[in-house]
Amino acid sequence: MQFRWGTHGDVEIIALAPESVQEMFDLTIEAFNLSEEYRVPVFLLPDANIGHLYERIHVPEKDDIRIIDRKKPDVKPDRYKPFEADDSLVPPMACFGEGYRFYATGLTHDENGYPDMTIEGQDRLVRRLCDKIRRNAHRIQRVEEYMAEDCDLLVVAYGITARSAMSAVRQAREEGIRAGLLRLITLWPFPDKRLEELASRVKAVVVSEMNYGQLVREVERAVKPTRVEFLPKIGDEPPRPDEVLATIRRAING
């Protein structure tokens, strides 16, 4: 929530939540690729538990790593406008030292980068900054679904909490409860449409978080009128599988 809303103006960002050391590596590369492609801040949001894990990772050969380079200007330096966008809404971005002039300001600005504080200028810029992500949200959003195709109850989790949630889902299946997991890899843009689709087929949704209620608000907004059971866990210890399982039992019988 701090990364998403902690600005002094409307802007869309991308935030990725790894659940393992391997994903710390993989999503770091993905974060750079997304930032280059959409010219927007991309945040990697591991929780403290992920940061303290010791796990084996696979580092691919350099030639096997997918790299996206930013779109470069195709005009001469004297005609370059650093914030002039085409239909993609993402302007070409010259690198420093290539001879292109670049002026940046923290204020709303025109296509040359110079401050534009008019209502029309502010409206035009903010809409572009937001729409370049909103229009491509379906391409950016990433989730992992586990036993969600036929579930009666859906667990939503991310980061370290998703690991215990997956174990709880397996145990619930052994008890005859058809539980499934939706692991959020992309927190922003929030995958509300896929969540809405899954929630429309289940009796209840369980949200497990290591706080007293943050992303659960987004889930509640997306899944209405499906009932939501929230499992908050405060402190250093993530929710245990037995705690998630107890919440699943309560939700399915509620």
Q: Average of pLDDT values for 23-43? A: 97
Residue 29 has pLDDT above 90, yes or no: yes
Q: For residue 111, give the DSSP letter.
A: T
pLDDT at 187: 97
Angle in degrees, CA 216, 220, 226, rounded to 5? 130
Residue 152 has pLDDT above 90, yes or no: yes
- Which CATH architecture does the domain made up of 142-253 adopt? 3-Layer(aba) Sandwich (3.40)
Q: Average of pLDDT values for 109-125? A: 96
Q: Which amino acid is it at 110?
A: D
pLDDT at 137: 97
**In the predicted model, what is the mean pLDDT of the chain?**
96
First to last CA, the chain: 30
Distance of alpha carbon 188 from alpha carbon 191, whole angstroms:
8
Q: What's the pLDDT tens digit per position in 50-64?
A: 999 999 999 999 999
> Predicted confidence band at 30 (pLDDT cuts at 50, 70, 90)?
very high
Secondary structure, 3-state, 164-208: HHHHHHHHHHHCCCCEEEEEECEEECCCHHHHHHHHCCCCEEEEE
Distance of alpha carbon 217 from alpha carbon 214, whole angstroms:
6
pLDDT at 13: 95
Residue 138 has pLDDT above 90, yes or no: yes
pLDDT at 84: 96
Tell me the domain boundaries of the chain.
142-253
Dihedral of the CA atoms 199, 163, 47, 244 (nearest 10)?
Answer: 60
Q: What's the pLDDT tens digit per position in 180-227?
A: 999 999 999 999 999 999 999 999 999 999 999 999 999 999 999 999
